[in-house]
Every structure is written in C-alpha cells, then in structure tokens.
Structure 1
C-alpha cells in the first residue's frame, strides 16, 4: 500500500518549503452535515484504475469527495472533468500552503474543481510545533496564506494530525495556541481519529473549538499512538462504528458550522471499498445527516 509520503511524491507537487469501543447501536440523530470522502483513502485503487475507482465511490453512494494528490499522469483538470462526469462534487481540496509563488496555480485548480475550500494537509510534522516560538512562526505563515487565499476568493483551512493535540508549548497544547492566535476565518478540519491518538476526547475538543471547525475527518480503528505512525504506518482502520471512536458522540458534538463529515481510512485490513460501503451504511443511520 502506498503511504502518504510516497503518494505526495508521486503527485509531483511535493511539500511546501515552509512546512518542514465505544459506539452506540442506535446513533444520535443529527442534522445539517453533508457527507464526503477523502480520496487518499483509495489512492492505490486510483493508481491502477483512475476512473473506475472514482465510479465505484459513486456507486457506493458518495456524492462528494475531498481531493488529495493525483498520480503524476493525471492533472487537476483531467481529474475535475472525470469527477464532474461521474456526478461527484468536490467538497474541499487538500493543497499546498498558499504562497505568492503558487497562488495562481491553487486558484486555477480550485476553479477547475468549482470548490473554494482549500486545506493545508499538514504532513509531515513541522518541528516548529515543538516550541511556542516555532508555533507562532507558523501562525504568522498561516495568516499570510489566509490573506492570499481571501484576496483570491478562497477559504483557507488547516487539517491536523496527532502532534497538534499532543505537543505542549508554552504551557498549552499546540491546537490551543492555533485556536487563540489564528484569524477567525481560518477554519479547522478536525481529524477526530488523530485527536484520539493524541490521548484527547474528540467530542470534547469539538465542543471546545465550536465554530472554528467547518470540516471533520471521520475514521475509526484502534486509535492508539505508536512509533510506527511517525513513519506513516498506522494500524489498520475499521469501517465507521467498528473501532474505538464514539462516532455518535463526535457527530453530536459538531456545531452547526460543520459543513462536511469527511470519511477517511488511511489503511484497512479488509477491501477498502467494502470498508467504505460499511461506513456509509453506518452513517446513513443518522437520519438527518445529508448524504448528498
């Protein structure tokens, strides 16, 4: 299976130089959140059968996707055309950090996808997150990126891993510093699995962050920290509702500001499309969650 680092390298885009059991059998009924799926989940399938893999997502029932990085032989316009042909709407795009050098390309890609939500995927860990001074340096970078995005009609957000919820800087966790220091319109895409890996309660975090969160990543599995994670080798994840995360509590904790619940399974022991099918079937029990 292709890991995150290899997948990003295959895209030809690289990383920015600035970045160095518990579930309820009867889910709580919530409203207002659309469902999407992060395409990193099916990266290996895409590399073998680009259009066929996307069609399988549509056949399973997904209406929205979150883009990551494509194999090097597929450009963004080709991808956008295929997604449109299959009736798949782009909810959000994982992209590089906006800079003066790349903003024109990001705008062009966003236009191709007809999507204004661009999200810095945040991999790998930036060592500046190990100190308060370093974290504030990144805050400054994110603020400038947000200004560039806004000036070009885009909305800029940040996706987390475990270190933002595990590293203490200046007596606080990194995510707390980010929440306090960032401009209000820089949104979070809170990956609830990595929050739990860091030893935090995802539902409590979502309640604390409130309207800062516009997207969440839903995944399930053991969610325990181990050294393999540093090499991007997570334990196999499970379909939603079959791991250690309390998915109903997480959805119940989302504010009305959360637009999309984005399913992502980094690694699975079973067939990935089977895992996604089981996941969408589970989420469909939340009668007021909009699958469209």
Structure 2
C-alpha cells in the first residue's frame, strides 16, 4: 500500500480549479493512496504555485513522487525546474516521449536525443533530480524490418544508468512485449512505473481499464517489478468508462491485495 501512487493525469478533468484540486487530493487520500505524480494539473499552471501545491499535498498526507514536465522547460529553464521539484519535495521528473523534432520513430533521432539530453540530465542529477522517459507503444517500433532491435532497446542499451525508464506496462503489453521480461531487463532503472489494465469489451474491443479488470498478467508482472527495484506504482488511466475515482479505488484494492 505504501508504494501506490495516483498519476494525476487520470483526474485531469477534476483538477481545473484550486477547489477541484483540494477536493481531489482529499478523495485520493481517503481511498488510501499516499503519493501522486503531478501531471496535467491545470490549476497548477494557472492558479497557484509549487509551494501552495506542496501545502495541499502535505495537508492530505500525500507525497509527490514524480512529475511530468515538458522537455523544453527542463532544457531551457533547468534551474527553475530544480527549484520547483525541491519545493515539491520530488526527486524524479519524466517526459512523455522524445520531442517530435527528433522523430518519434527514427533510430538516429533517438540517438541524437540521447546525446543532446545528456548535459541536461547531468545538471538535473547534480541538483538531486532524476530524469525518466515515459513510453507509449511507438517506442517498440523495430529499428529496421530486418532487425529485432526496437527504439526502446536503444534507450536501454545506450541511454546509460542516469537515463531512467518510466515504464508504462499497458503500452508495453499493447506493443506485444512481455512486461515482466522488459521490467527485469531494466532492473535498477525503473523507480516509478505506470500501471493500467487492458479489457476487451463486447462491440468496443480493447479499452483501458482499472487494474485487475483486464487481461494483463499481474501475477507475473508484479513479482518482476519487485525484483527490479520499483519504488512506486503509479496508477493511471488515460480514459475511464466510469467515474475515475471509482476506478482508482478498484485499482488500489486490487494492488493492495497483491503487493
């Protein structure tokens, strides 16, 4: 239970005002979660600052264990981003993929990004903040049709130990890759991961679901995560077919019984 967090992107429609954020954080805490990842909190961008958010989190017994920030902010305003993370008491920041300017499906673009990002990652590390890369399914495109190597393989093999991997295991599974095998391969570089389930619904087909309500093999995935040094399991649903707080509760209850 102490490793379970909410990826606030799940609740983005409930985070548009200061009052919304306060209410949502209270409900998250009441479910039993003790941490969040700060992402897509509209009111944080428009109505209050990091110090206020930290107070709101503290008031609800919640820790900020990660953020999602844009690469441009991290690269161009590194000092300010470090200050923000220090205020939040957060030592991990992730991007949602490499910038489109590098090419989302080209090996040379991934290698150029690794080279260009290295000094920024080093500066973040010097300031006590780790850097991570959140995947979707396109990172598992093969480099060439003839090669089994994928773009994600480049990040694993060439990114170095300071290039952490915020593995989203739904998208790993969606790409046809074994999540347990991948997470073991990334051992020591996956402090925060994202979890959601994949349910097949009559007429609609595959949809994102609360954890335990779909077909991901959690009985093999979760032991692999524990063996690989995962510190935080961030529950995330890009879309919810019912009230998102109810989905978060179902996921919390399922994972609490498993971990």
Structure 2, unaligned stretches of length 5 or more?
Answer: none
TM-score, normalising length: structure 1: 0.78
- On the 8 A contact 1:213/1:257 being kept in 2, the answer is yes
The offset of 1:122, in angstroms, is 2.1
Q: Which has the higher contact order (CA 8 A, sep 6+)?
A: 1
Structure 1, unaligned stretches of length 5 or more?
Answer: 1-31, 224-233
Aligned CA distance change for structure 1 residues 124 and 272 (closer, same or farther; 3 Å): farther
Aligned partner (choices 29, 36, 55) of residue 58 of structure 1:
29
TM-score, normalising length: structure 2: 0.87
Question: Separation in 2 of the partners of 1:127 and 1:141?
Answer: 10
Per-residue deviation, residues 178-212 of structure 1 (Å, max 9, x unmatched): 11111212211100001111121111211222222
Higher deviation after alignment, 205-214 or 240-249 = 205-214
Question: How many aligned residue pairs are there?
Answer: 246
Aligned partner (choices 101, 104, 123) of residue 79 of structure 2:
104
The offset of 1:237, in angstroms, is 2.2
The offset of 1:141, in angstroms, is 2.4
| Partner in structure 2 of residue 237 of structure 1 | 208
Could you say what secondary structure the match of 2:5 adopts?
Answer: strand
Higher helix proportion: 2
Alpha-carbon RMSD across the aligned residues, in angstroms, is: 2.3
The offset of 1:99, in angstroms, is 4.5
| Partner in structure 1 of residue 220 of structure 2 | 249
- On the 8 A contact 2:2/2:34 being kept in 1, the answer is no
- On the 8 A contact 1:143/1:183 being kept in 2, the answer is no
* Alignment map for 1:101-250 (pairs within 5 Å): 101-122=76-97, 128-165=103-140, 167-170=141-144, 171=147, 172-222=149-199, 236-250=207-221
| Partner in structure 1 of residue 238 of structure 2 | 266
Question: Separation in 1 of the partners of 2:101 and 2:176?
Answer: 20
Per-residue deviation, residues 242-277 of structure 1 (Å, max 9, x unmatched): 112112211111134211111101111111111111
Per-residue deviation, residues 93-120 of structure 1 (Å, max 9, x unmatched): 1122364521122111101111111112
Per-residue deviation, residues 47-73 of structure 1 (Å, max 9, x unmatched): 252211111101111111111132122
Aligned partner (choices 43, 47, 50) of residue 76 of structure 1:
50
Per-residue deviation, residues 143-184 of structure 1 (Å, max 9, x unmatched): 22211111222111111111112x122531001011111121
